[in-house]
Structure 1
Amino acid sequence: MKKRQLIAPGALAALVLSACGGGGGGTGSGDIDVVEDGTLVIGIHEDPGNLFRSLNNSATLSQVFPIAYEAPVWFDEDGEAQPWLAESWEDTPTEVEWTIREGVQCPDGSELDAELVADNYRWILDPDNGSTAIGTVIPPDAEIDHDNDARTVTVTTETPNSFLMAQIGIHPIACREALEDPDSVAAGTDGTGLFELVEAVPGDHYTFERKDDYDWPREGAPDGQTAGVPQTVEYRIVENPSTRANMLLAGDLNIASVQGPDEDRVAETVDVLMEQDRINAGIAYSQAEGMPGEEEEVRIALTKALDIEALMQVNTSGNGEIPTRLATLEPEICQYDAVGPNTPSYDPDEAEAMLDEAGWTREGDGIRTRDGEELVLDFAWTTRWPENSATAEMMADMWEEIGVGVNHDGGDHGAWTENVFSEGSTEHYEVMWIGLNHFMPGALGAYVSGDLPPSGNNFAAIENEDFAAALAEAEDLSGADACDAWEQAEAALYSSGDMVQIAMQPDATYSQGVEGTIAPGWPTIAALLLTAD
């Protein structure tokens, strides 16, 4: 397969349509014939849900919102931050100060200023808004100041964070209407990006139009007059991978990802636009008071009952591997294997012995009980990928072999998010699916420590003293210097059975009728670097 330079999914706002795809007539742009005012059609596998990023952390939304919004910084292929809405910045593990550049306009014609950027962060911190970005973007204890005259925004936190600048800097900035009326952008957009949403038909398609007057691109990116930039970008929801493959091969889609058995026939004829390792599957055990997973011995026993290699093979259709750490997206700031050496090994006999020792016993082939209570796990999982259902069923079979029952609660990603991030979820679900994807571990730490939903994102109520100690060491350092401490922190998570990493696989996005080079790297909102030749 021919591979183009790797990009992050959704970094599509600047792709140039070539004369073999899209609509309209061809014109010259360097050595490439491009389509003027064409239509770029992108197939995505599920509806992204609420389009306001501060209320929806869905990975699918990451494929859609980036063409309409911008952020303070983006990260190049070397993992270095580059200016975007912020022309400069100063940062430490406890403070970031942006200097916001001039000339950036919102859809209502007003200019982006420091107060609006600051208000985006204040909106996230307001608990009444129910933002999913608390902790993952803005630390809950952060204080926000701004100076419109100096065009500065300052974020200060008492708790050090090795990746504070990156976490804050990659979040999309919304304009005033979105903050005042979030419902207006649930199926709309209000950002400073090159495109704006003009039609939304949830479950079917989302159509964006180019802003011809967009003239404030970051360095190296196109503006509204760049030759070959599509006039229209349409995201079509095509849930079935076979259908996406057929549409891509027939020319009805310019861009789509295809997984499973259909991928081979697509790869034979269609170029790879991007390939990125994606963590599909993992689990976390609730440690809320009174839950079985509150006890480390029980968590480890449940993990030992799982043949993770077999589960990975099923979840990835034999095309993946077991993840090695929390943050695997490019550019990978930290690289280590904390999973392999620390995850409890597969041993059903030992799992049974540990449960016996913990007082969970059974007679014959029945369900284990303790003090009259049956050991039955309410399991919340997502149907995002077709193989997830089979994986969840296989896990339940493995637990059943050691006398543990399972009540399945599988649903689409929107339902899963609502279930596990709602108040009281840690006391309802004993096991929750988890598939986190990011390029820096700091952004993921809020999911495995800190406040519970809705004030935080620690949806399994994880408390791990060794993790906290290593995290405290990491947070006194900046960037890559913190990686060794993060490795130790993650090791503590896996060795104590707090969470289990199960499956990761290459996620290829295929394209036809487009040309361009785009710098790799999450976040997609910051990874739009394209040349028009």
Structure 2
Amino acid sequence: MKLVPCLLGAAAIAVGALYTPPVWADGGTLVIVSSQVPRHLNGAVQSGIATAVPSTQIFASPLRYDENWEPQPYLAESWEVAEDGLSVTLNLVKGATFHDGEPITSEDVAFSIMTTKENHPFKSMFAPVEGVDTPDAQTAVIRLSQPHPALLLSLSPALAPVLPKHIYGDGQDVASHPRNSTDVVGSGPFMLQEFTAGEAIVLKKNPNFFIDGRPKLDEILIRIVKDPSALLISMQNGDADMYPFMAGSQEIRRLQEADHLTITDQGYAAVGPINWLAFNTKSEKLSDVRVRQAISYAIDREFITKALHRGVSTVQRGPIIESSPFFEADIETYDVDLDKAQALMAEAGFADGMDLTIDYIPGPKEQQQSVAEYMKSQLGKIGINVTVRAAPDFPTWAGRVGGHDFEMTMDVVFNWGDPVIGVHRTYLCDNIRQGVIWSNTQSYCNDQVDQLLNDAAIELDQDKRKAMYSEFQQIIAQDVPIYFINATPYHTAYDKRLQNAPTGIWGAMHPMDRVEWSE
């Protein structure tokens, strides 16, 4: 059993710090390291890895999913989908309470689903939800305006945390609520003990968790380590126990040499992470599709995946992850052609070139900064002078991109299991939302695309959905609001003594109530 004390304050969480283990009653501490910096911990109003990993420990959700994509009971002990597909009834577990001791009722579930619908950047996720009826304290009936093939998956921990209405229903703006970061109260297996922004999150065992005998661990400590080398050293030295969402080839190969670690690519099946170059289509320079097409013809994704990523990444050619049954391979892929790129620039009136900026997410250098710097070199060949614009941290980058204050940016965006959840949000006209990251930050709008996505969102026939998504992908390939590069090669490194490591479809964005140390 791994024994690590609760560490508070910046000095105590320094990389490489030596721990003096106390005497624990049972489960010990799991130390997770990450370069992701969460702005807050409320997954109902914020998407992304940084928030989802701690949020899914703090907040429980109606359902959870196993490694075979099958829904399992969580706060809902059972559920029933109506024959017409227009309602889903959730039967809640009895006796479940929030961390402050207040009972969880159907009113909390109704409040949470409607709050998520109103505030979450994934607008399509709960778009068909008209309301949630609460005939009694243990029953919540989700009413839909149309069938919703992705609804049950949308009730997963990373997407549908159940919030305490008695806290968040106080009239304050939920998106900026002070309890998103301080004194956060959920009903998940772990309770927030400390959140030091940009440094650490300390979670302690929920002694009144509604699943008997869980969680197994006493504590989870999430350390934010911005220096990639220091992060790897902490894993190699045993100062940290788990590193999820690891994407660099050097990181993966270096930690594979550590005898005490297991390295796996399992745990990302529902994530569908795509690394891409996004264009601000409202930019005067990039509003012309010929410029975006020219840039696409200038980039060599094969060079990126084979040389820059050392063969760890796989090519991604469209908006739906290539491992999905909905991916359409018969689309324009923009294989590198500098002559065609220069001709398109001339047609668009930029024969003399132009100046552009490119942003990137700080942290995963190989997938982001290195590719951005390659873009600078490659686009110079067609007369585009690129300035690579760094951000000191993730919130700064997110503020720029969410605020549409960019021309081009590298980005990593997830499919989230079903296109309705993770794909639609990037392309729907009504999801162009100022200040919201991972919405339609490209300001792309095409009525035909809207119609196809809206039809696919309610179609229960798999073959018909596939045909709709095929046409959608062909249009996106022509309009090029985004140039798709590669599937992000996420891996998890963890101590071999860990049992039940999070390798299901949501990986570390899943409650870790079963994770424990071997004796």
1:237-263 residue CA offsets vs partner (Å, 9 max, x unmatched): 222333223222222111124534243
Q: Which residue number corresponds to residue 485 of structure 1?
A: 468
Distance 2:425 2:70 in 1: 23
Q: Which residue number corresponds to residue 80 of structure 1?
A: 70
Q: CA deviation at 1:165?
A: 3.5
Number of residue equivalences: 473
Q: Which residue number corresponds to residue 363 of structure 2?
A: 384
Check if 1:244 corresponds to 2:222: no
Secondary structure of 1:66 counterpart:
helix
Distance 2:86 2:329 in 1: 29
Q: Which residue number corresponds to residue 373 of structure 2?
A: 393
Q: How does 1:399-478 map to 2 (within 5 A)?
A: 399-411=379-391, 412-422=393-403, 425=404, 428-437=405-414, 438-444=416-422, 445-451=424-430, 452-454=432-434, 457-478=439-460
Residue 498 of structure 1 is aligned with which of 470, 478, 481? 481
**Percent identical across equivalent pairs?**
18
Secondary structure of 2:79 counterpart:
strand
Distance 1:524 1:239 in 2: 19
RMSD of aligned C-alpha atoms?
3.2
Secondary structure of 1:393 counterpart:
helix
Distance 1:22 1:273 in 2: 30
Residue 263 of structure 1 is aligned with which of 234, 252, 268? 252
Could you tell me which amino acid in structure 1 is paired with residue 477 of structure 2?
Y
Check if 1:70 corresponds to 2:60: yes
Residue 309 of structure 1 is aligned with which of 292, 295, 302? 302
Q: CA deviation at 1:460?
A: 0.8
Q: CA deviation at 1:297?
A: 2.2
Contact 1:285 1:430 in 2 (8 A): yes
Secondary structure of 2:359 counterpart:
strand
Contact 1:339 1:491 in 2 (8 A): no
Distance 1:84 1:379 in 2: 43
Q: TM-score, normalised by structure 1?
A: 0.79
Q: CA deviation at 1:125?
A: 4.6
Q: Which residue number corresponds to residue 275 of structure 2?
A: 281
Change (3 A) 1:164 1:523: farther
Secondary structure of 1:294 counterpart:
coil
Residue 233 of structure 1 is aligned with which of 202, 220, 239? 220
Q: TM-score, normalised by structure 2?
A: 0.81
Could you tell me which amino acid in structure 1 is paired with residue 453 of structure 2?
L
Distance 2:461 2:91 in 1: 21
Distance 1:265 1:246 in 2: 10
Change (3 A) 1:436 1:159: farther
Change (3 A) 1:94 1:502: farther
Structure 1 unaligned blocks of 5 or more: 1-20, 27-34, 363-367, 369-374
Q: Which residue number corresponds to residue 112 of structure 2?
A: 120
Distance 2:86 2:408 in 1: 34
1:262-302 residue CA offsets vs partner (Å, 9 max, x unmatched): 432321312135535663620222223x6333332222122
Distance 2:169 2:345 in 1: 50
Distance 1:57 1:223 in 2: 30
Check if 1:133 corresponds to 2:102: no
Change (3 A) 1:162 1:293: farther
Distance 1:48 1:315 in 2: 28
Structure 2 unaligned blocks of 5 or more: 1-18
Q: CA deviation at 1:466?
A: 4.6
Q: CA deviation at 1:523?
A: 7.3
Contact 1:93 1:163 in 2 (8 A): no
Contact 1:322 1:503 in 2 (8 A): yes
Distance 2:331 2:346 in 1: 26
Contact 1:145 1:154 in 2 (8 A): yes
Change (3 A) 1:50 1:320: same
Contact 2:133 2:141 in 1 (8 A): yes
Contact 2:252 2:263 in 1 (8 A): no
Change (3 A) 1:55 1:336: closer
Contact 2:275 2:410 in 1 (8 A): yes
Mean CA deviation greater in 248-257 or 347-356: 248-257
Residue 146 of structure 1 is aligned with which of 119, 130, 133? 133
Q: CA deviation at 1:392?
A: 0.8
Check if 1:200 corresponds to 2:195: yes
Contact 1:117 1:173 in 2 (8 A): yes
Using CA pairs below 8 Å that are at least 6 residues apart, which structure has the higher relative contact order?
1
Could you tell me which amino acid in structure 1 is paired with residue 103 of structure 2?
E
Distance 2:339 2:162 in 1: 52
Secondary structure of 1:434 counterpart:
strand
Contact 2:189 2:513 in 1 (8 A): no
Contact 1:51 1:187 in 2 (8 A): no
Distance 1:336 1:138 in 2: 21
Q: Which residue number corresponds to residue 37 of structure 2?
A: 47
Could you tell me which amino acid in structure 2 is paired with residue 312 of structure 1?
T
Q: Which residue number corresponds to residue 351 of structure 2?
A: 361
Could you tell me which amino acid in structure 2 is paired with residue 197 of structure 1?
L
Could you tell me which amino acid in structure 2 is paired with residue 453 of structure 1?
R
Distance 1:350 1:89 in 2: 55
Q: Which residue number corresponds to residue 81 of structure 2?
A: 90
Q: Which residue number corresponds to residue 14 of structure 2?
A: none
Contact 1:284 1:498 in 2 (8 A): yes
Change (3 A) 1:449 1:213: same
Mean CA deviation greater in 265-274 or 110-119: 265-274
Contact 2:193 2:204 in 1 (8 A): yes
1:341-371 residue CA offsets vs partner (Å, 9 max, x unmatched): 4322211111111121222222xxxxx3xxx
1:104-140 residue CA offsets vs partner (Å, 9 max, x unmatched): 21122111111112212333455xxxx343505332x
Q: Which residue number corresponds to residue 342 of structure 2?
A: 352
Change (3 A) 1:23 1:338: farther
Q: Which residue number corresponds to residue 13 of structure 2?
A: none
Secondary structure of 1:55 counterpart:
coil
Change (3 A) 1:410 1:187: farther
Check if 1:213 corresponds to 2:208: yes
Q: CA deviation at 1:395?
A: 0.8
Contact 2:63 2:155 in 1 (8 A): no
Change (3 A) 1:243 1:158: same
Mean CA deviation greater in 471-480 or 54-63: 471-480
Q: Which residue number corresponds to residue 14 of structure 1?
A: none
Change (3 A) 1:483 1:23: farther
Q: Which residue number corresponds to residue 514 of structure 1?
A: 498
Distance 1:352 1:284 in 2: 20
Could you tell me which amino acid in structure 2 is paired with residue 285 of structure 1?
F
Could you tell me which amino acid in structure 1 is paired with residue 398 of structure 2?
T
Contact 1:194 1:223 in 2 (8 A): no
